[in-house]
């Protein structure tokens, strides 16, 4: 069965610093991979997704993620964090069937210090 | 453009009471989903509806029932609420349920069962 691990429960960075959120997945073949963001009191919003092709994908709000098959990872990065990026971030994996097979990680809470 | 609308936003129930969470989308999507979000657990799929007239169990269906009333509406019912059902509930939709489609989320219903 597929699974997703987000090793960091809570990360704190200073505004303007770079950010990397880790995500590791377990699945035999190449999965579909997603990063969602949840602002306080809101539903989730898609940041970016990977299906195939270029392993570096660009998303909204200046985020990018890199798929590394050898490490079973799909880490999210941003070069310079803004205070408005404070939120909870979820990595998700889909085994390639339908969206009802989407498995979410437990999330990483990002705090941004001024 | 309302997207996915959930009602109510907050609800407090006593153990054994019943209630229905409402969800409606105005994007003409075929697939709809109900998730619950618990601290440190990420999102878990309760039920989904791949298309109008069909519903299927997700990862944690026990204690819930659903109705896909029409293409727009997908309700979640708790027949006899239990404290273990205290959670934040999210409704989501996407066009056809395909793996390459993002999910559109409502803003959630915070439910407390005393």
Question: Of B81, B104, B74, B82, nearest to B92 (Cα)?
Answer: B104
Question: Of B109, B94, B88, nearest to B25 (Cα)?
Answer: B94
pLDDT digits (tens, 9 = 90+) for A40-65: 888 899 999 998 888 999 999 999 99
In this model, does residue B83 exceed pLDDT 70? yes
The span from the CA of A15 to the CA of A31, in Å, is 33
Q: What angle do CA A12, A47, B34 make, to 5 degrees?
A: 100
* Residue A90 at interface with chain B, using a CB cutoff of 8 Å: yes
The span from the CA of B48 to the CA of A12, in Å, is 35
Distances (CA, A) of A30 to A57, A110, B39: 15, 28, 29
Contact in structure between B109 and B88 (CB atoms under 8 Å): yes
Strands, DSSP E only, in chain A?
A: 3-5, 10-14, 19-21, 24-26, 32-38, 44-50, 56-58, 64-68, 73-78, 87-94, 103-104, 108-113
Residue B5, Cβ density class (10 Å: 0-12 exposed, 13-18 middle, ≥19 buried):
middle
**What pLDDT does residue A96 have?**
62
The span from the CA of B3 to the CA of B92, in Å, is 10
Contact in structure between A21 and A108 (CB atoms under 8 Å): yes
Q: What is the mean pLDDT of residues A35-40?
A: 93
Judged by average pLDDT, the poorest of A1-5, A11-15, A27-31, A102-106 is A27-31
* Residue A1 at interface with chain B, using a CB cutoff of 8 Å: no
A:20-49 residues touching chain B, CB 8 A cutoff:
32, 34, 36, 41-46, 49
- Fill in the DSSP letter of residue B62: T
The length of chain B in residues reads 114
* Residue A88 at interface with chain B, using a CB cutoff of 8 Å: no
Q: What is the mean pLDDT of residues A10-37?
A: 92
Judged by average pLDDT, the poorest of A15-19, A23-27, A97-101, B19-23 is A97-101
**What pLDDT does residue A2 have?**
77
**What pLDDT does residue A41 have?**
84
**What pLDDT does residue A28 have?**
67
For the ranges A10-14, A92-96, B91-95, the maximum mean pLDDT occurs at A10-14
3-state SS assignment for residue A63: coil
* Residue B39 at interface with chain A, using a CB cutoff of 8 Å: no
3-state SS assignment for residue A62: helix
**What pLDDT does residue A98 have?**
59
**What pLDDT does residue B97 have?**
77
**What pLDDT does residue A47 have?**
96
Mean pLDDT of chain B: 93
Distances (CA, A) of A91 to A20, A73, A114, B13, B61: 13, 10, 26, 32, 23
Min Cα distance B86 → chain A (Å) is 16
Percentage of the residues of chain B whose pLDDT score is greater than 70 = 98
The span from the CA of A49 to the CA of A19, in Å, is 18
pLDDT digits (tens, 9 = 90+) for B9-37: 999 999 999 999 999 999 999 999 999 99
The span from the CA of A36 to the CA of A47, in Å, is 5
Per DSSP, what are the bridge partners of residue A24? A5, A73
**What pLDDT does residue A48 have?**
95
Q: What is the mean pLDDT of residues A5-32?
A: 92
**What pLDDT does residue A13 have?**
97
Judged by average pLDDT, the poorest of A35-44, A66-75, B26-35, B94-103 is B94-103
3-state SS assignment for residue B102: coil
pLDDT digits (tens, 9 = 90+) for A95-107: 766 556 788 999 9
């Amino acid at each position: 069965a597929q699974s997703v691990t987000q090793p960091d429960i809570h990360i704190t960075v200073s505004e303007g610093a770079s950010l990397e959120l880790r995500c590791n997945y377990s699945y035999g073949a190449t999965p579909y991979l997603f990063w969602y963001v949840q602002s306080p009191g809101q539903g989730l919003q898609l940041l970016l997704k990977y299906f195939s092709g270029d392993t570096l994908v660009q998303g909204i709000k200046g985020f990018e993620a890199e798929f590394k098959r050898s490490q079973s990872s799909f880490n999210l990065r941003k070069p310079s964090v803004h205070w408005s990026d404070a939120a909870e971030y979820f990595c998700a994996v889909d085994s390639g069937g339908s969206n009802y097979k989407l498995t979410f990680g437990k999330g990483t809470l990002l705090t941004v210090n001024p | 453009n309302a997207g996915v609308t959930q009602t109510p936003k907050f609800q407090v129930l006593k153990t054994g009471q019943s209630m229905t969470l409402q969800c409606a989308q105005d994007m003409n999507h075929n697939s709809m989903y109900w998730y619950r979000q618990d601290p440190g657990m990420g999102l878990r799929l309760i039920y989904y509806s791949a298309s109008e007239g069909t519903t299927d169990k997700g990862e944690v269906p026990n204690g819930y029932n659903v109705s896909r009333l029409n293409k727009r509406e997908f309700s979640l019912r708790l027949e006899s609420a239990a404290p273990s059902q205290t959670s934040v509930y999210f409704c989501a939709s996407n066009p056809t349920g395909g793996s390459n489609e993002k999910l559109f989320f409502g803003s959630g219903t915070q439910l407390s069962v005393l």
